Amino acid sequence: FKDYPMEPAVLRFFEDDNDDDDDCRESKCFVEFLPSELSMGQYSNSLTTITFYEGDYRKIRKKLEQRVKDVLKENAWLGGRLAVKPGEEVLKLWYDTECKDVPPNIFTSYEPGMIPLKRSTKYAQYKDYLADYSIVVPIAQKLVGTDHPVWKVSIVPDVVEHNTRFAIIVSQSHMIGDAHTYYKIFHMLFSDNSDSGKSRIINTAPVEKMNPVRRADVKYHIEKHMGVQEASYIRKTNPNMVSPKR
């Protein structure tokens, strides 16, 4: 990935970072990927769900936007970018711990009629209706060096009943997290902690801080819980992965 071109916004992120240390510096930090992630994750499609709700999207728009900001505040790595720092060789997830330098349009609320999506839209048609919009996070190969969000939340009003039905589309690069991570973040979006006790959409989980740092002993734990034979794909992608001393 080191030869991938970088968009201006990504280059600016590194402009003031002239320190050669490997640790996080000031507000700029990074997540290192496991070798297995680098070999497999780059080809994986994003994790994306489209969920329809009954009601007026205008009544939840501001609240959901604030919720996205709350999640980002606790998990700034969701506002990161996939890039190889100039002078380095390895792809990392770079992010601003203060969330001041993040990709645009992590949250987007579309106006009625912009996207011809409706509750009766066939599953096979989703990709055709969403293709012209940056709603679905692309595969890692198309993210590297770009200013495209690695995690994105969108509101799309139903094209037929736009005042009474809408869809919320949440998309996350598989490179930055697995399905467990996706749904843990997903449920944080819709918890309502208001004093009234009334849930606006659904009431699932509070916003909490997650640790994006990968564990070097992941191979050991995968084999422990899945079995050696079932976890053989890990050895095939990275036979030299570190295992803990026993």
Tell me the pLDDT tens digit for each residue of 80-108. 999 999 999 999 999 999 999 999 999 99
pLDDT value at residue 136: 93
Confidence tier at 52 by pLDDT (50, 70, 90): very high
215 or 100, which is more confident: 100
pLDDT tens-digit readout, 165-205: 999 999 999 999 999 999 999 999 985 555 444 445 555 68
Mean pLDDT confidence for 2-19 = 84
Which of the four pLDDT bands, split at 50, 70 and 90, describes residue 133? confident
Average pLDDT over residues 2-8: 90
Distance CA 246, CA 242 (A): 12
Q: Which run of H or E residues covers position 233?
A: helix 232-237
Q: Report in angstroms the alpha-carbon separations of 246 from 40, 168, 222, 225, 234.
A: 28, 47, 16, 17, 20
What is the C-alpha to C-alpha distance for residues 143 and 148, in angstroms, rounded to an integer?
A: 7
When comparing pLDDT for 197 and 9, which is higher? 9
Mean pLDDT of 133-154: 94
Residue 115 in tokens: 């996207």
Between 32 and 23, name the one with better pLDDT. 32
Find all residues with CB under 8 Å of 233, minimum gap 6, and list them.
none
Q: How far apart are CA 244 and CA 230, in angstroms?
A: 19
Residue 191's pLDDT is: 58
pLDDT band at 39 (very low <50, low <70, confident <90, very high): confident
Query: What tokens were used for 21?
Result: 């240390």
Burial of 78 (0-12, 13-18, 19+ CB in 10 A): buried
Asked if the model's pLDDT at residue 154 lies above 90, the reply is yes
pLDDT, residue 38, reads: 86
Question: pLDDT tens digits, residue range 117-130?
Answer: 999 999 888 888 88
Q: Among candidates 88, 83, 80, which has minimal Cα distance to 5? A: 83
Query: Which of 57, 61, 71, 79 is closest to 13 using CA atoms?
Result: 79
Instruction: Give the chain's mean pLDDT.
Output: 85
Q: Which residues contact 22 (CB under 8 A, 6 or more apart)?
A: none
pLDDT at 244 over 90: no
Q: Is 127 helix (H, G, I), strand (E, B) or coil?
A: helix
pLDDT grade for 217, boundaries at 50, 70 and 90: confident
Average pLDDT over residues 154-158: 96
Give the 3-state DSSP-derived string for 68-109, with helices as H, strands as E and coil as C. HHHHHHHCHHHHCEEECCCCCCCCEEEEECCCCCCCCCCEEE
> Cβ distance 71 to 78 under 8 Å?
yes
Model pLDDT, residue 198: 45
CA torsion angle 88 31 71 163 (round to 10): 60
What global pTM score does this model have?
0.84
**Interval 48-76 mean pLDDT:** 94
Region 141-155: what's the mean pLDDT?
96
Q: Give the pLDDT score at 246.
A: 36
| Chain position carrying tokens 């992630």 | 37
